[in-house]
Amino acid sequence: MAERQPLEEGYFVMPDAAHQHPRLIGSYSPKADECFFPRRKRCPITFGPVEDRLLSSEGVLYSWTWLVTLKYGAMTTGGKPHGVGQVDLPEGVRVQSRLLGSQGDWEIGMPMVLDLLPISTDEAGTELCTFAFRIKEAGADGPRT
- Report the 3 state secondary structure along the chain: CCCEEECCCCCEECCCCCCCCCEEEEEEECCCCEEECCCCCCCCCCCCCCEEEECCCEEEEEEEEEECCCCCCCCCCCCCCEEEEEEECCCCCEEEEEECCCCCCCCCCCEEEEEEEEEEECCCCCEEEEEEEEECCCCCCCCCC
Do β-strands 94-99 and 23-29 pair in parallel, antiparallel, or remain unpaired?
Answer: unpaired
- How high is the pLDDT of residue 100? 96
Higher pLDDT: 1 or 27? It is 27
- How high is the pLDDT of residue 67? 87
- How high is the pLDDT of residue 18? 61
- How high is the pLDDT of residue 62? 98
- How high is the pLDDT of residue 94? 98
Query: pLDDT for 66-102, tens place per residue?
Result: 988 666 555 555 567 889 999 999 999 999 999 999 9
Find which of 43-47, 116-120, 126-130 is predicted with most confidence, using mean pLDDT: 43-47
Q: Over range 10-20, report the average pLDDT.
A: 82
Higher pLDDT: 78 or 104? It is 104
- How high is the pLDDT of residue 133? 97
Q: How confident is the model at residue 138 (pLDDT cuts 50, 70, 90)?
A: confident
Residue spans of the domains in the chain: they are: 4-135
